Chain A
């Protein structure tokens, strides 16, 4: 054990004495480790931005979409769907689920009544789709009991009303049972000149919409946020259960989110790792160069140390450790630098989006960088260490 500490102390001492030379050699290694960590973090952020952007459309992994189309032209009563869907969510203990219905709702804007695309969803839908509001709030289950239906609308909708969300706007919903709806939240338009659109709770939709109107909007679907591992089993079970629950229905259960994204993740990771490895190797080459020059410069010193009782193994290990200790220091500096960069640069904003779940500091990337740095250090130290061992003691002392 003393031997190990001795070799480490010797290596550290050597680095301390030759700090400028070592520092110059290690800049490359530190930059490479910093690059590995930062690029991986940037990659993580990019993946997160991309994933969250996708999940707004498709739902989080894994989101199952369940549809049951009537065999004939007549749709079963909506209550049958509601009961069957509720039953499925309860039976399989799905924590987040939402019915989804599409409808054209006649909202009375100051400019006149306008059929507006409306999506009726459950309160969980926003969580399942990482839905981001820019004002007001999303639905809660308590909103189902409001006499005035709550709606969440896009910016175009508010513009059409000529009010802001802070004005607590209301809007008449036309049709056979006109009702005053309250705008409780708003979300940004997805593209320029997007027409007005709105979200409403399924319960409100059912209460204020006539059965005929509901018939026109087609059968509701069900979205379930389930563990990715149970997708296949659940797909089969839900298909079977629903076929039995809604008579004669043609049941379709499919995954909404894109599982292929993880393959893209993997490819990106390898590209990042490849680029960083090349950077590290280049840093390592500089280290080999300096270490070789240093050993040649230190031949006499190696001889003197042999006279102190250093075995050839100890000389080898000490010279090797110099590179390893140096690269560990460089690695720590590189990781620290990456932490500072990541702490101060809002990567997601630079990528043009903000993320809900900010990826944590890429510890695995930092560790990979450190391991790679130490490996490069060991490789870089190997050649000088072999040169050092081959030094003839007697010649070295007289060098």
Chain B
């Protein structure tokens, strides 16, 4: 039994003009405990919606979503919230740290929703987790006094402090420069592995995506497995043939997608820090001859 199973999941919304917009269409995905999965796709293809469904923040319009083999549709809102807090850790692109709270208070915040020892020992557990991410000396520092990389490390500590079984990372390096992003991903990979947590990363960044064991591409609401070639992994340049189609039979979920890696963008001049600036990136959008806009 897989940890997470999506079978034919769709998500649609009714627009103000009464048209129905299908964001996700027939999504099939299974994720096992401790597995590292990446999902790449253009902006607006439904990546975040998929992540929200996986993280129990949203519910599918149709299809089945099984958590530990149990359809989540059978769970009450309260139980879903409890499972979300206990089993899922979220890492956001913009860190989403609570303002006016120290790093320690931010990391301790999810433990306010825990039970027993985790609740009562929250300050100690938070301090230990910050120690693990290398911020043991910044416990009482406010987020605005931390660099982008440090803020994301606090966010990672916060996502992991309850020992989740699944870490959902939505563009975890999207607001960081390439080097810092690499360091953050190293940390996320390491701690997820040590904790035995599954890691599902949504990203534009092929270097980030290539760290996963399995890769998927989400296009127009359809999820398809892809392979990312070794040449693209961690590389800023020369991504000409980084993406490869998954051959038949190699992945039963594989969809024949014609993804062609275009010329590399001007990736050498990597930007840094949060802030929505256009910056070069080894991104799937880059494959389509478009720069990535970190927003």
List the one stretch of B105-113, B131-139, B234-242 in contact with chain A. Answer: B105-113
* Residue in A closest to B112 when the chains form the complex, CB atoms: A6
Q: Given that A6-B119, A13-B105, A313-B78 are known contacts, is A308 also in contact with B52, CB under 8 Å in the complex?
A: no
- Verify if B146 is at the interface (C-beta below 8 Å from A): no
Question: For residue B57, which residues in chain A have a CB less than 8 angstroms away from its CB?
Answer: 306-307, 393-394, 397
Question: For residue A394, which residues in chain B have a CB less than 8 angstroms away from its CB?
Answer: 48-49, 52, 57-58
* Residue in B closest to A297 when the chains form the complex, CB atoms: B99
* The one of A6, A13, A306, A397 that contacts B81, using a Cβ cutoff of 8 Å: A306
Question: For residue B90, which residues in chain A have a CB less than 8 angstroms away from its CB?
Answer: 307
Q: Which of B104-151 contact A (CB under 8 A)?
A: 105, 109-110, 112-116, 119-120
Question: For residue A309, which residues in chain B have a CB less than 8 angstroms away from its CB?
Answer: 81-86, 110, 113-114
Question: For residue B77, which residues in chain A have a CB less than 8 angstroms away from its CB?
Answer: 311-312
- Verify if B214 is at the interface (C-beta below 8 Å from A): no
Give the distance in Å from the alpha carbon of A398 to the alpha carbon of B51 in the complex. Answer: 13
Question: For residue A313, which residues in chain B have a CB less than 8 angstroms away from its CB?
Answer: 78
Rounded to whole Å, the gap between the CB of B162 and the closest CB of chain A is 8
Q: Which of B194-223 contact A (CB under 8 A)?
A: none
Rounded to whole Å, the gap between the CB of B100 and the closest CB of chain A is 5
A304 touches B78 (CB 8 A): no
Q: Given that A304-B96, A304-B98 are known contacts, is A2 also in contact with B109, CB under 8 Å in the complex?
A: no
B105 touches A6 (CB 8 A): no
Rounded to whole Å, the gap between the CB of B202 and the closest CB of chain A is 13
Q: Which of A346-399 contact B (CB under 8 A)?
A: 393-394, 397-398
Rounded to whole Å, the gap between the CB of B278 and the closest CB of chain A is 19
Question: For residue B52, which residues in chain A have a CB less than 8 angstroms away from its CB?
Answer: 393-394
Give the distance in Å from the alpha carbon of A6 to the alpha carbon of B82 in the complex. Answer: 14
B92 touches A308 (CB 8 A): no
Q: How large is the interface on A (under 10, 10 to 19, 20 to 34, 35 or more residues)?
A: 20 to 34
Question: For residue A398, which residues in chain B have a CB less than 8 angstroms away from its CB?
Answer: 48
Q: Which of A14-56 contact B (CB under 8 A)?
A: 17-18
Rounded to whole Å, the gap between the CB of A294 and the closest CB of chain B is 12
A6 touches B113 (CB 8 A): yes
Q: Given that A304-B98, A311-B77 are known contacts, is A397 also in contact with B92, CB under 8 Å in the complex?
A: yes
Give the distance in Å from the alpha carbon of A173 to the alpha carbon of B248 in the complex. Answer: 134
* Residue in A closest to B295 when the chains form the complex, CB atoms: A398
- Verify if B279 is at the interface (C-beta below 8 Å from A): no
What total count of A-B pairs have CB within 8 Å? 69
Question: For residue B58, which residues in chain A have a CB less than 8 angstroms away from its CB?
Answer: 393-394
Q: Which of A300-329 contact B (CB under 8 A)?
A: 300-301, 304-314
Q: How large is the interface on B (under 10, 10 to 19, 20 to 34, 35 or more residues)?
A: 20 to 34
Interface string of B21-36 (1 = CB under 8 A from A): 0000000000000000
- Verify if B46 is at the interface (C-beta below 8 Å from A): no
Give the distance in Å from the alpha carbon of A79 to the alpha carbon of B57 in the complex. Answer: 97
Interface string of B278-289 (1 = CB under 8 A from A): 000000000000
Give the distance in Å from the alpha carbon of A6 to the alpha carbon of B105 in the complex. Answer: 14
B81 touches A5 (CB 8 A): no
Rounded to whole Å, the gap between the CB of A9 and the closest CB of chain B is 6
Give the distance in Å from the alpha carbon of A9 to the alpha carbon of B49 in the complex. Answer: 32
A2 touches B116 (CB 8 A): yes
Rounded to whole Å, the gap between the CB of B137 and the closest CB of chain A is 23
Give the distance in Å from the alpha carbon of A306 to the alpha carbon of B80 in the complex. Answer: 11
Give the distance in Å from the alpha carbon of A79 to the alpha carbon of B192 in the complex. Answer: 106
B119 touches A308 (CB 8 A): no
- Verify if A252 is at the interface (C-beta below 8 Å from B): no
- Verify if A10 is at the interface (C-beta below 8 Å from B): yes
Rounded to whole Å, the gap between the CB of A146 and the closest CB of chain B is 77
Question: For residue B48, which residues in chain A have a CB less than 8 angstroms away from its CB?
Answer: 394, 398
A310 touches B96 (CB 8 A): no
B85 touches A310 (CB 8 A): yes
- Verify if B101 is at the interface (C-beta below 8 Å from A): yes
Give the distance in Å from the alpha carbon of A2 to the alpha carbon of B115 in the complex. Answer: 6
Rounded to whole Å, the gap between the CB of B9 and the closest CB of chain A is 16
- Verify if B55 is at the interface (C-beta below 8 Å from A): yes
* Residue in B closest to A399 when the chains form the complex, CB atoms: B96
Rounded to whole Å, the gap between the CB of A169 and the closest CB of chain B is 78
Question: For residue A5, which residues in chain B have a CB less than 8 angstroms away from its CB?
Answer: 119
Give the distance in Å from the alpha carbon of A300 to the alpha carbon of B94 in the complex. Answer: 12
Give the distance in Å from the alpha carbon of A399 to the alpha carbon of B55 in the complex. Answer: 18
Rounded to whole Å, the gap between the CB of B232 and the closest CB of chain A is 29
Give the distance in Å from the alpha carbon of A393 to the alpha carbon of B112 in the complex. Answer: 18
* The one of A300, A301, A314 that contacts B113, using a Cβ cutoff of 8 Å: A314
B101 touches A17 (CB 8 A): yes
Give the distance in Å from the alpha carbon of A6 to the alpha carbon of B55 in the complex. Answer: 22
Q: Which of B35-54 contact A (CB under 8 A)?
A: 48-49, 52
* The one of A301, A311, A393, A397 that contacts B98, using a Cβ cutoff of 8 Å: A301
Give the distance in Å from the alpha carbon of A333 to the alpha carbon of B140 in the complex. Answer: 30
* Residue in B closest to A300 when the chains form the complex, CB atoms: B96
Give the distance in Å from the alpha carbon of A312 to the alpha carbon of B86 in the complex. Answer: 16
Question: For residue A314, which residues in chain B have a CB less than 8 angstroms away from its CB?
Answer: 81, 113
Q: Which of A9, A304, A309, A394 has the most CB of B within 10 A?
A: A309
Give the distance in Å from the alpha carbon of A304 to the alpha carbon of B77 in the complex. Answer: 17
Give the distance in Å from the alpha carbon of A151 to the alpha carbon of B143 in the complex. Answer: 85
* 21 examples of A-B residue contacts, CB within 8 angstroms: A13-B101, A13-B105, A17-B100, A18-B100, A301-B99, A306-B57, A307-B57, A308-B113, A309-B84, A309-B113, A310-B85, A311-B78, A311-B82, A312-B81, A313-B78, A393-B52, A393-B58, A394-B52, A394-B57, A397-B92, A398-B48
Given A2-B114, A301-B98, A306-B81, 12 more A-B residue pairs with CB atoms under 8 Å apart are A2-B115, A6-B113, A6-B119, A10-B112, A13-B101, A306-B84, A307-B84, A307-B88, A309-B82, A311-B78, A313-B78, A394-B49
> Top 5 A-B pairs ranked by shortest CB distance?
A309-B85, A311-B81, A308-B110, A309-B113, A17-B100
B residues contacting A by CB (< 8 A) are: 48-49, 52, 55, 57-58, 77-78, 81-86, 88, 90, 92, 96, 98-101, 105, 109-110, 112-116, 119-120
